[in-house]
Structure 1
Amino acid sequence: MKNEIKQDYRAAVDILQSLQGVPTPKPMTALDESVDQCRRWRRRLELATARNWQAAAKDAADRLCGALDILRMRSTHAIDDLARLTKPRLEPTAASVYRDIEGLRGEFEDVTIDRANQRITVQTSSISLEYVELGIFEICLNWKFIKESSPYDVLAVEPNCPSSNDSVTHPHVQGESLCEGEGSDAIRRALDEGRIYDFFCIVDHVLRNYNPDSAYVQIEDWSGISCKACGDNVDEDDAVGCCKCETELCLDCSTMCESCVDRFCDECISSCDCCGDDACQMCLKSCDDCGDSFCNTCLFEGTCDDCITKQNEANEEERRKTEQAVTAVHTIRDGKAAVPA
């Protein structure tokens, strides 16, 4: 117990040292880059419009809209950063940070301090959102970078990822980064003021709430299957597996073989060279004469209709020639002159 108290207090001193000093404004180079991009695309739009280059004007307008949207987002972040500098904030002490660490030990079952790597990690209890079990998460704060924009990671202990994206472990966690949403300002303020207990509790609260507007993957699509053709998520019961390669597809992206009625992906389905019906490679047979592929309906004793027609025409021509030859022989024997038909 005494060793744990010493460790916690020393960690509190380390965290306080990382927090000391007046926060400095972040460089606005990204904002300057966005302004330059907007100017560049505005000039191109004006030039294309003046010269009546319609395709170029449309492209420039689309790119200008995208540049303006990025500028708006970066401006909002810059305003938030400047606002935090002007707001009065609590000045933490080693004692206050120590009390927060002790509070964490009472709030979370597992709290780990790694002074060598300047990390403090808490483990949440199991999290479920709308009947989807997401499991336990670790929130790991690297206090060396506590003044940076995102000095912490969120890791799933036993990830339950959606089938459509294995880098998403939570609707608001991609990789190890949390989309903070409306909790962004509260998280940043808690870190600035050294309120370590509040920081971990806020992140835990964000993980336990679901906002469909900012989700990387919608929770209702979590247990679905991603169609390998169009990329849409479909319910597991509505998914179709190609009967040859087992590729998972939605119903619209699969094709039914007219002969065996099984469903296949585009690469495993073909069509009859005669009637054009969809048919799988197992149901298509090669014509013994021409080698083209046909369904069973369009083959008779291994031969397609066209080849049968050609055979019949050849047989008829041979019969006609034979009859003509026989007629000519009979004419000569009778001593009659052969009269052309």
Structure 2
Amino acid sequence: MVSRRTLLAYIAALFAVCVAQVAAQSQAPVIESVNSPQASEDTLSNEPSLSSALASASVSPSPISFIASNNTTSTGAPASLNTSAGSVSSRLSAAKFIAGLFWSSQTTGMHRRCSATVISENLLVTSAACAQSQNPISKFGNGEWRIVAGTDDRFLDVPAASAVGNKVASINMSTCANFAAILLSEPLTLGKSIKPILLSNSPAFQTTTVVTYNTTDPAVDPLVILTPGTDEACELLFPGYSKKGFLCTLPVDKQTVTADYLGGDPIIGFVPQDGVAEPVLFGVTGLYYSTIAEAQAAQANDPTAYRYSPLVAQQVGKLASLGGLDAQKIATPATPI
């Protein structure tokens, strides 16, 4: 049993870096500009472990129902190398607002890192954990970030040679918020195969229905229902998580912790519009509550792996400014279902 003192010590160590950063930059924008593609991953990878503390926390699920009852909640097994467009499910292929963030190595070609969600022709969002280049440089050598959108290649670990992608101009991120905005130097061509999604200007509540997409195993049904944890347990493990703009969710059955530990997949909610439930972007999947190294070595279904995912509501103004967009046109204030 983990003592309260030990738990508080873990929590203090985990968030000391972020608290110091916020205190020093209280007037700074939430999204920080990263001038170098080799941004440090220290604030993400050196977090102390809370696995044992999480195991001792008592929680109960808050069941929510998905709007389309015929959708399943499989996350599949840890993905093997996906190199064939034929292995992508039709439901995932139909999500035109999902793109892929790829590392284009000078020596080994294109390698998928995670998902990115299309907000406009030149602006996408993902997790900061995914968008840092230290790991892909060490694995694949020097290169640059590219976005692949509009074809099933965006879900493949190694896309076809013809999928050269669109060049990234810069990635603006906040490691404490685990949120990244991607600006393109080569804009996407929006249309039938690439469609942006509206942002939600409202927070996700305990009763809000939200789903995400499992893009690490694209052959299976990708829709995954996310169930919020109890506020008591979530607050214990991450004090002030809601005010800091995070959604806390319970472990998902058969979740692929070892495959999707970087996050970045879209979290979709629904708002009523003309009698129809329209999808909007609530956030992107974040880090499991352990270190990156532990997530890579964890069991596939880790019952201690609570997830804290950044929501977009607090970022709308910054995103509009970065992309030269009208905040009222890229977001909706409608109350979520």
TM-score per shorter chain, which class? under 0.3
TM-score by length of 2: 0.22
TM-score by length of 1: 0.22
Q: Which has the higher helix share?
A: 1
Greater length-normalized contact order (CA 8 Å, ≥ 6 residues apart): 2
